[in-house]
Each structure stands twice: as C-alpha cells, then as structure tokens.
A and B are shown apart, each in its own frame.
Chain A
Amino acid sequence: MNIELKDLRFSYGPVTALDGVDLTLGEGACGLLGPNGAGKSTLLRILLGFLRPDRGEGRVLGYDIRREPFAIRRIVGYMPEDDCLIPGLDAVTFTAYFGELSGMPRQEAMKRAHDVLFYVGLGEARYRSLETYSAGMKQRLKMAQALVHDPKLLFLDEPTSNLDPQGRIEVLELIKDISSKKDIQVLVSSHILTDIEATCSRVVILNRGKVAAEGDLEALKEVRFRLYEIKTAGGEGSFAEALAARGCRVETTEEGLLKVYLPPEMDRRAIFAEAFRRSVQIRTFVRSRTSLEDLFARTVGVD
C-alpha cells in the first residue's frame, strides 16, 4: 500500500482540521476532493511531515509519518499549490538545486534537471529567469522540481489552479502520463472535480476533516447513486414532492428536467407507479451516468 492512515487527527488550536481519518490508498492516481477547509492540504502536510498529528498513525510507502519523515521526503515529490519559485534563478538551476537538496549528486541533479524540464515542456525556456514565466510555466516548473529526484509517489496540491483552459489541459495530460505510464503513484488534491475525473481512477472525498467517501471512482458512482433524468407533462411539482417523500433526492433543472437520485433499496418502477397514481405523463426517462459532481454534491451535502 502507498498510504495507510489510521485514526488521524489534527487541529489548529480549537479548529479541528482532521478528525479520525482512516485511509488506505494503493496503486494508481488518486484524487483528494473536498470543499475549502475540508482538510486536504492539512492531510498532505501531515503526510510530508510538516505537521505532526495530534493522534493516530500513518505510513507512506512503508515509512512511518512520525518517525521517518526524511525517508518519506526522499521518495515523495511535492508540488505545492502556491507560487513558490525562488526569484533570480533560471529553471535549470532551480530544478537542479532541489534535486541536490533531495540527496542527488550535483552533476546528476543538473543532468536530471535538463531531462525533466524537457519532459514537462520547458526545455526551450529552461535558461530563462523565473520572473518571466507565465502561470502555466510556473505550474510545470513546480512539477519538474517535484519529479527531479524520480519520486515513487507524487503529491500534487491544486495542480491546475490559475491556469488558462489550454494550460489546464496540458498539465492534466502530464499528470495522466505520469500516473499511467511512468510508474509513479499520484495523489492529486483539488476542488476542481473535472480535473480529478480526468486524471484519477480512485477518489477520497474529505468533508469537515473526515473521510466522507472513498474508493474506485466508477464503482462509487455506480453503486451509491442511481440517477434518472425525467421529463413529465404537467404536475412536476407534486410528482417531485411525492418522490422526495419516498426517499428520493429530486432536483429540478432550468430546462424543467427532474433529476431523481434513487436510494439503493428503491426500484425504478416505483417512479412509474407514482406517476400513474398522480396521472403524470412521463415523456422522457433516461438513466443518467452519475458525474463526480453528483457524487461530490451528494457526499458533501451541497448542491
């Protein structure tokens, strides 16, 4: 297992950031989702040893997060959310510098810096001063410094923040390439659901410091939620209320479409029975593929 956490708790004074987090993450790319303040960044910082948990234990790639943070940092790459580039340097020096600090010999760190900068698409700009870099280039450079020492596990904190659409697509492609072809496990923390959906096969949803949902993304969407999109001819209001009374979550879209989330124990034929009882004509009945957005909204409890 890459990451195993047991009953992890951390608080910033009176504010509890993580509360009893139990987590086991294996191979592949995993998304760490949650609204602002859910504890995503705190979790990453605990995994890196920046913060010491108040309670609980954990292991990253077999190393104890309390006792062996330096061993963890040697084999883990970290791409922070904020801009954190040292002014006055060029990309090669910057990347090689952090390679050296990871324990790479100086010359090999320099050679490796060139390689990873080409890999992330900054080959031609590698001698330019970092002050002249665009937001997209800065993101890639942060990725390069995280990759320079060839980590086994990569922590990416909001990797697409501040990027334009094209830059976002390129960084997501890079993450997909790293996680699927380069034998590097990736943990992506983000609140941009489509990014997680595009790059990760597994997901952990944090809410108020607790794990709200965890597992294979497709399975989570399939098993926990059955969503139907229904168009009726008249009587939508009372029909929706009746379905809600039977335990369904019902949303009405701007186009007048009813999105009905069925609880696991309820048969879809009950919808037709209810419509028949209320003389509501069903014009469209489509089983919708549940999106991560639906899963997130349902888990976190927001629309």
Chain B
Amino acid sequence: MPIAEQGYTHWGGRFVERRVPWGPITRLGVRMAFKRKFFKLAFALSFMPAVVFAAGIYVSERLEDFQFMFKGRPGSTSFLEVNPLYFKSYFAGDFLLFMLVMMMVLGGAGLIADDLRSNSLQLYFARPIRKRDYLAGKLATAGAFVLLFTLAPGVLFILLKIVFAGSFKILTAYPWIPAAVVLDSLLLATFFSAYTLLISSLSKNRRYAAVLLFLGYLFSDLFFGIFYGIFHNPAFCLLSIKANLQQVAAALFRVPPAFDVPWLYSLLVLAAIVAASAAVLARKTRGVEVIK
C-alpha cells in the first residue's frame, strides 16, 4: 500500500469553540450503543411501558367506548385514573427500571471500560478537552437513553392527557406533576449514568462491567428481599437500588411510599452511589497512568 497516494494539504479552516465540547463524545457513544448486539431489542422493549401508559391515558378518556373490556368488573377502571399514582407507577415501575438497567448493561457498560482497554484516554486528553468534558460526554450518553424513556414519555403523558381530556384539569388538580416528572427523570438519569460509569470504570473488560452492572442491581434487591423476609424491617429497603428509586419517586409524586422509611434516606443512599462514582471516575480517567 503506497504512502502518500495523495499529497498532504494544510487545513485552512478555523477551530470552533463548542458550547458543549463533549457533544462529539455523546454522539459517538449513542451511535456505538446501537451497534451492540441486543441493544436495539432492549431499546425497542423499553418503549413498551410508555406505549401501554399512553394507551391507558387514551382509554381513560374514552371509557364509554371500552366498556366491553370492563363489563361485570365494577371498580376495575380505577387504575386508569390519570393521577400522580399513575405517573409514579410508570416512573417507578419494575419493568421500566429493569429495562433501563438492561440498556445500561448492553449499551453503557463499555463507555469507559472500552477506553481503558484500548488505551484511548491518552488520545482524548491529547485534545483540547478537559476531564470533565470527557466525563460529561460519557454521562450524557447514558443519560440520554434514560431521559428518552422517562422525561420524554412523562411530558408526552401530560400533553396526551390535556389533549384527550380537552382541559388542563390534570395541571390544576395536581400542579406538582410536571416538576415531579422532570425531577424524577433527572434523578433516574443521574443515578443510572453515574452507576453505569462507576462500574464501567472499574474494569477494562466491558463484559465484566456488564455482568457487574446487572448483578449489582439484581443482588441489591435480592439482599433486601432476604433480609426483609427474615427481619420484617422495612429499613432494609435501603439496600435495594430499585426500592430506593421507588421510594424517592413516591415522594416526588406525593403518593404513599411502599415502605415506611423516610424517602430522604433513600435519596442519601442514591447520592452516596453518585458521589462514589464521581470519586472513582476522577481517579480512573487520566491521560496517563501515574503510579506514585
């Protein structure tokens, strides 16, 4: 293969100062996620709860058209009442949380692990980007997927309710719902991004990271179940990632929590994981490995 098939020409353009210097990192991360086996399947399946809940909103406003579905079951339409509990059921639903974890497993496990394995951090940091830009780009990659399945459907549900009901009753009756949708979406995005990057930065092997991500989520819930089963103490819900997310979601949507434990404790547990992630990432992401 001959060298210099074509001469070298100097570039006459100008460098741009991007408002989001990490934009290219996020774009590439999203693109690479869709190249992964099974990610597309997980992505498609993750839309299922949103579709079902959107359909539920439609049905709730057209109950007379769907009477045949509830014939002989008085009170069976109560779950279709679009209220804070309805939103909380979506945001803290087991299936949605599980699918978010699966998307992180399939699309996010390699975000840092791949760079560590391929030694490409030095290429990143040989460019005019800071460590925080690099991390923001990676966090945004994971966060974008989470927000796509939380914030976007949440806003859509409110809009659908307004359109199908033909009134702003939902907003006047529950004015905190939009804020709760935004806050819970941001909480989920922040937590899952930080948790994913934390695990991803602990290994150079994306498969180990993926397994660890999944087991971390699964076992936290499993341990909670075991201890709760033995001691019947709801405080053990603090061991479970899922239960903590559900406790905080319940508080944000102002519905009774599943466990009689202050939601602030759950928030602190989640914040501690995010803080641990920040500390580990600050240490792990360097242009060059320095052992002193």
Provide a sorted-by-A list of 20 A–B residue pairs whose CB atoms are within 8 angstroms.
A12-B292, A45-B287, A51-B290, A70-B130, A74-B128, A82-B119, A84-B118, A86-B118, A87-B118, A98-B123, A100-B24, A103-B15, A103-B16, A104-B15, A105-B16, A119-B8, A120-B4, A121-B1, A121-B3, A182-B10
Q: Choose among A85, A89, A97, A182 the residue with the greatest number of B CB atoms under 10 Å from its CB.
A: A97
Q: Which 5 A-B pairs have the closest CB atoms?
A: A103-B15, A150-B11, A50-B287, A118-B6, A78-B126
> What is the minimal beta-carbon distance from A38 to any residue of chain B, in angstroms?
17
In the bound complex, CA of A173 to CA of B114 (Å): 32
A220 within 8 A of B: no
Q: Could you say which residues of chain A place their CB within 8 Å of the CB of B123?
A: 78, 80, 84, 98, 145
Interface pair A118/B15, CB less than 8 Å apart? no
In the bound complex, CA of A105 to CA of B17 (Å): 9
B-facing residues in A81-136 (Cβ within 8 Å): 82-89, 93, 97-98, 100-106, 108, 112, 115-116, 118-125
A48 within 8 A of B: yes
Interface pair A123/B127, CB less than 8 Å apart? no
Interface pair A83/B288, CB less than 8 Å apart? no
Interface pair A119/B126, CB less than 8 Å apart? no
Q: Could you say which residues of chain B place their CB within 8 Å of the CB of A119?
A: 4-8
Interface pair A12/B291, CB less than 8 Å apart? yes
Q: Could you say which residues of chain A place their CB within 8 Å of the CB of B290?
A: 12, 51
In the bound complex, CA of A147 to CA of B120 (Å): 16
Interface pair B25/A101, CB less than 8 Å apart? yes
A-facing residues in B122-167 (Cβ within 8 Å): 122-130
A259 within 8 A of B: no
Q: Could you say which residues of chain A place their CB within 8 Å of the CB of B291?
A: 12-13
A231 within 8 A of B: no
In the bound complex, CA of A37 to CA of B9 (Å): 37
Q: Could you say which residues of chain B place their CB within 8 Å of the CB of A51?
A: 288, 290
Q: Could you say which residues of chain B place their CB within 8 Å of the CB of A84?
A: 118-120, 122-123
Other-chain contact of B24, A70, A101, A116 (Cβ < 8 Å): A101
Q: Could you say which residues of chain A place their CB within 8 Å of the CB of B124?
A: 101
In the bound complex, CA of A48 to CA of B125 (Å): 9
Interface pair A102/B128, CB less than 8 Å apart? yes
> What is the minimal beta-carbon distance from A241 to any residue of chain B, in angstroms?
47
B-facing residues in A152-186 (Cβ within 8 Å): 170, 173-174, 177-178, 181-183
> What is the minimal beta-carbon distance from A21 to any residue of chain B, in angstroms?
18
In the bound complex, CA of A5 to CA of B9 (Å): 31
Closest residue of chain B to A83 (Cβ to Cβ) is B119
> What is the minimal beta-carbon distance from A47 to any residue of chain B, in angstroms?
10
In the bound complex, CA of A109 to CA of B11 (Å): 10
Other-chain contact of A73, B7, B11, B16, B128 (Cβ < 8 Å): B128
B32 within 8 A of A: yes
B283 within 8 A of A: no
Other-chain contact of A183, B10, B117, B118 (Cβ < 8 Å): B10
In the bound complex, CA of A236 to CA of B44 (Å): 84
Mask for B16-27, Cβ within 8 A of A = 1, else 0? 111001001100
In the bound complex, CA of A45 to CA of B126 (Å): 9
In the bound complex, CA of A93 to CA of B10 (Å): 20
Interface pair B129/A101, CB less than 8 Å apart? yes
A149 within 8 A of B: yes
Closest residue of chain A to B9 (Cβ to Cβ) is A115
B73 within 8 A of A: no
In the bound complex, CA of A84 to CA of B125 (Å): 12
In the bound complex, CA of A167 to CA of B22 (Å): 35
> What is the minimal beta-carbon distance from A16 to any residue of chain B, in angstroms?
12
Q: Could you say which residues of chain A place their CB within 8 Å of the CB of B25?
A: 101
Closest residue of chain B to A73 (Cβ to Cβ) is B128
Q: Could you say which residues of chain B place their CB within 8 Å of the CB of A86?
A: 114-115, 118, 120
Q: Could you say which residues of chain A place their CB within 8 Å of the CB of B127?
A: 73-74, 98, 101-102
Interface pair B5/A118, CB less than 8 Å apart? yes
Interface pair B288/A50, CB less than 8 Å apart? yes
> What is the minimal beta-carbon distance from B23 to any residue of chain A, in angstroms?
8
Closest residue of chain B to A174 (Cβ to Cβ) is B3
Q: Could you say which residues of chain A place their CB within 8 Å of the CB of B18?
A: 103
Interface pair A74/B15, CB less than 8 Å apart? yes
> What is the minimal beta-carbon distance from A169 to any residue of chain B, in angstroms?
9
Interface pair A88/B292, CB less than 8 Å apart? no
Given A101-B24, A119-B6; A48-B13 close (CB under 8 Å) = no
Interface pair B129/A88, CB less than 8 Å apart? no
Other-chain contact of B15, A88, A97, A102, A137 (Cβ < 8 Å): A102
Mask for A233-249, Cβ within 8 A of B = 1, else 0? 00000000000000000
Q: Could you say which residues of chain A place their CB within 8 Å of the CB of B287?
A: 45, 48-50
> What is the minimal beta-carbon distance from A166 to any residue of chain B, in angstroms?
10
Interface pair A48/B10, CB less than 8 Å apart? no
> What is the minimal beta-carbon distance from B290 to any residue of chain A, in angstroms?
7
B35 within 8 A of A: yes
Q: Could you say which residues of chain A place their CB within 8 Å of the CB of B288?
A: 45, 50-51
Q: Could you say which residues of chain A place their CB within 8 Å of the CB of B115?
A: 86
Q: Could you say which residues of chain B place their CB within 8 Å of the CB of A87?
A: 114, 117-118
Given A13-B292, A78-B126, A103-B17; A182-B114 close (CB under 8 Å) = no
> What is the minimal beta-carbon distance from B93 to any residue of chain A, in angstroms?
32
In the bound complex, CA of A214 to CA of B127 (Å): 29
B63 within 8 A of A: no
Interface pair A147/B8, CB less than 8 Å apart? yes
B45 within 8 A of A: no
